[in-house]
Amino acid sequence: MDAQMKRGLLEACVLSLLLKGDSYGYLLIQEVSALMPISESTLYPVLRRLEAAGQLTVYSREHNGRLRKYYAITENGKAQIQSFLKEWEDVNRVYTFILTATTKEENTHE
């Protein structure tokens, strides 16, 4: 998968997971890993970008005697998901066009 596309999908996945409730890095990695391979070195820069863009906020809470960073989606983050979905409609329209053209081309060679 193209790196830019993966980054955009990863950001949308993280924001979508945070719609269910606040979460922390390790849990986000586990949940996103069910969809695509991801590591800490991939996730944390994404979280920092989303925070810098005002799409999530960060706070700390004690857990088992240690501070754990939690991430929460903002209204700006929710708007970003809607923007992603709109853009994906456009991408899907192009994908359908390409798929249809490819299928027609394959059928003419049979």
CATH number at residue 88: 1.10.10.10
What is the span of the domain harbouring residue 43?
A: 3-108
Judged against a pLDDT cut of 80, whether residue 64 lies above it is answered with: yes
Nearest to 30 by CA among 22, 39, 21: 39
Task: Tell me if the pTM is above 0.85.
Answer: no
- How many whole angstroms separate alpha carbon 77 and alpha carbon 89? 19
Convert the pLDDT of each residue in 6-35 to its tens digit.
Answer: 888 999 999 999 999 999 999 999 999 998
- How many whole angstroms separate alpha carbon 84 and alpha carbon 79? 9
Nearest to 11 by CA among 35, 21, 103, 102: 35
pLDDT at 2: 75
**Residue 107, token pair as written in the block:** 């059928």
Burial of 93: CB neighbours in 10 Å, binned 0-12, 13-18, 19+: exposed
How many domains does one find in the chain?
1
